[in-house]
Structure 1
Amino acid sequence: MAVARAAGGRRRVTGGAGRLFMTLRLPDRTGAAKMALEFARALRADGFDLTLVHGAVPRPSILPDVEALGVTTVLEPRLERPWDPRLVPALADRVRRDGGRCVIGVNQRDRAPALLAAARAAVPGVLMVQNQHHFWGPRPLAALKRRGYRAVVARSTTLAVCTSAVVQEEMTGFGVPPGRTVVLPNGIAVPPPVRLAPAERARLRAEMGAGADDLLLVNVGRLDPQKGQDVLLAALDGLPAPVHVALVGSAGDSVAARRTRGYASALHRQVRDLGLERAVTFLGWRDDVARLLAAADGYVHTARWEGPALPLAVMEAMAAGCPTVFTDCSGRPPVFEPGRDGLLAVSEDPASVRERIAELAALPPAERAAMGAAGAALIRAHYRVEDLGRTFSRLVRGVLDGG
């Protein structure tokens, strides 16, 4: 491995609990990487030293934030090729050489190498199972990937930390003993509310393409079949209410670049074919999502699959006070009451999404505001990342103690 970096020339803070290793094939700023960052923050606060082994660096990336925590980061290009026979020995050698006590795998593509390296280094292997599993490629190749993954996780997982009961059931279906799984939902650092001056709000709404009488909904996520923006566009077709949707995100996964670029092109064609040019705006990647949410009337999320029942993008919208429509692709969230905290649609069902959007559009502004406030209160009470990070660190300590 190569290119180890300490935190920007800062003096590294040494913990007293030993060194952990974390693998992260894609250190971008999407959900799994954000949770890796927050759990790294909790582990550092709990006294652990940490090395993050990552793949190619996209833009934007979490690496500056990770390094600011005093985490050592190591670029390992072979994470882009997890079948490379040199990857596992190299990772295991580094774990042994640096006295690593545990290896934590994050992305689906790096979990099997993380577990194999942990076994080779004779340390526990922990998985952050952030998403439901999908194995891409022609059917024989996808089946081969699934069999290989199942064989590794069934044999080598010390603990699988799953974001929902749906994900937990997948892991036990792969052969991981139930006693080696636990459900821990994702969480967010609840930000202070964003207050926009009327002129700024009007400017942002115009930038997102909304008319004066439109109900403006924001959707945040990379343009990818998983996120189901095509389902959302199908739901807008024939919607009687004046609704405008701003799609925030771009196609950019370095592994699935061809697929995501093709999907993005298909979305643009779908907008033209359905005559939705006046109802949909593609904004691309934005770093001012909090301000966009403050200018919107609501949020919509139509993913085909996720890991957590409340995806991070949905939680961030709820925390911002946006009334939300989202799909049940990972089950119904605990302590969530549809109609009070938000509106739940059936996954991959445009008619169901259309009904929920129409229901939101029909609410008087005061009732939409009340729904947004209830969702924000739910996030503050149950999904604070500081609390969940501390729980994750306790789980890791339990693994190290043999619990």
Structure 2
Amino acid sequence: MTSEAANVLFTLRLPDRTGAAQMALQVSRAFRRRGHGVTLVHGPLPPEEPSIVPDFCEIGATTVEETRLDRPWSPLLVSDLAGRARRAGARAIIGVNQRDRLPAVLAAARANIPAVVMVQNQHHFWGNGLISRAKRVAYRQTVGRYTTLAVCTSEVVKSQIVRFGVPDAKTVVLPNGIEPAPARPPLDPWRRRELLDDLGLDDRRFVFVSVGRLDPQKGHDLLIDAFARTPALAERVQLAIVGAGGTGDQLRARWPDELRDRVRNAGLDTTIRFLGWRSDVADVLAAADGYVHAARWEGPALPLAVMEAMAAGLPTIFTDCSGPPPWFEEGLDGLMVRAGDPGALARALARVAAMSDDDRRAMGARASALIREHYAIDDIADRFVELVVGTWA
């Protein structure tokens, strides 16, 4: 327990179940373990997939829907957030998503309390040239000026937030973490065949899984290109893509349909399967032979989806978009390839698919040990709480 129990207020524009929301929940659990109160001010619930808000309720957090977080330029949003923080007795406001950081740090300044930002991802400002530039300028003038502490998931993210004007002394690098599920025995062949059959997959082919929302960031189009340019790979390997999408600006809204069109046009309908959002990802991973993550950009060097695959003992391929992970040994713990390169993805997919069963098991076992030893969520979340408490000490 800390010497003084207090309250904190989180802003979370996207209360879905993806990485940023999951980390906000884990950090909130750590605050609650130490006797602190948590208020979550969140944006509209996702229409087509489960929300993380019930999980916040389960840990005793107060949750408030604030639809204006989807429109952060709303003139009364900052004053209302500041007022809510005062009424809750909040000692800090913690902005989680990129889009809600501006009102979060401005509200903290108005309430005269620390402004903490969880910098979970590399920054991208969507919109045409003029809109994108305006967002960038507004971000620099607010986040760069008013941030008390920026908790960054990698050195790449830290260097970017420093370029936006946050002093280096106000930043810290803290990777994401997970709570690995207990080790489970391999699926027996009959159960694996049954599960793969339910997913429309063939147990006679090597099965890769990729988990992530259908968004340009995640690079699923690069995976499609990797298979399209390598017919021999497409004949003996299948790819199962788990995730939903279709939110955001016009490009992102139509992205899932564009991906499906790419698969059809490339004649890969029997090679690449879209499974949608699923609540049984652990079972899907258990049935798979390998994992691949083709993101163009991320915040952490090891995104949560990659950590979960590694913890499950799968040989894993991911991109170098956020730099090499600490403690990771290339070729032993997994394979890291150049971001944005379908050819590199194709070569890595072929390399893993050609491994012997013993070599794949050895790589998966090393990956699982790496995650369990260095990325335990309780330790990381407790460190986050200590950092925030330090801002109000």
TM-score, normalising length: structure 2: 0.96
How big is the alpha-carbon RMSD for the aligned residues of Structure 1 and Structure 2? 1.3
Structure 1 unaligned spans of 5+ = 1-14
Query: What do residues 162-220 of structure 1 show as CA deviations (whole Å, max 9, x unaligned)?
Result: 00000000000001100000000000011113443432211122233333431100011
Correspondence 1:24 to 2:12: yes
Per-residue deviation, residues 234-291 of structure 1 (Å, max 9, x unmatched):
11123323110001111143x44x4333111111111112111111111111110000
- Indicate the residue corresponding to 2:21 in structure 1: 33
> Could you tell me which amino acid in structure 2 is paired with residue 251 of structure 1?
G
Alignment of structure 1 residues 114-263 onto 2, 5 Å: 114-195=104-185, 196-239=187-230, 240-241=232-233, 242-253=236-247, 255-256=248-249, 258-263=250-255
Q: CA deviation at 1:229?
A: 0.2
Deviation of 1:16 after TM superposition, in Å, equals 5.2
Q: How does 1:4-403 map to 2 (within 5 A)?
A: 17-58=5-46, 59-195=49-185, 196-239=187-230, 240-241=232-233, 242-253=236-247, 255-256=248-249, 258-401=250-393
The runs of 4+ residues in structure 1 deviating greater than 6 Å are: none
Q: Offset of 1:362 from its aligned partner?
A: 1.4
Q: Which residue of 2 aligns with 1:6?
A: none
Q: Is the 8 A contact 1:209 1:280 kept in 2?
A: no
Q: Aligned with 1:287: secondary structure?
A: coil
> Is the 8 Å Cα contact of residues 246 and 256 (structure 2) preserved in structure 1?
no
Aligned mates of 1:96, 1:394 — CA distance in 2:
22
* Distance in 1 separating the partners of 2:386 and 2:169: 16
Q: Distance in 1 between matches of 2:243 and 2:145?
A: 37
CA distance in 2, matches of 1:327, 1:249: 18
2-structure distance, mates of 1:175, 1:162: 14
**Contact conserved, 1:126 with 1:160, CA < 8 A, in 2?**
yes
Structure 2 CA distance for aligned equivalents of residues 400 and 199 of structure 1: 57
**Quick check: 1:235–1:350 contact (8 Å CA) kept in 2?**
yes
- Cα distance in 1 for residues equivalent to 2:58 and 2:260: 39
Q: How far apart, in 1, do the equivalents of 2:267 and 2:71 lie?
A: 42
Task: State the SS of the aligned residue for 2:91.
Answer: strand
Deviation at 1:303, TM superposition (A): 0.4
Once the two structures are superposed, what CA deviation does each residue of 1:45-102 show, in whole Å capped at 9, x if it has no partner? 1221111110111230111111111111111111111000010000011112222111
Contact 1:125 1:157 in 2 (8 A): yes
Take 1:251 and 1:207, find their aligned partners in 2: how far apart are those partners?
Answer: 22
Instruction: Report the TM-score when normalising by structure 1.
Output: 0.93
Cα distance in 1, alignment partners of residues 75 and 69 from structure 2 = 11
Sequence identity, in percent?
54
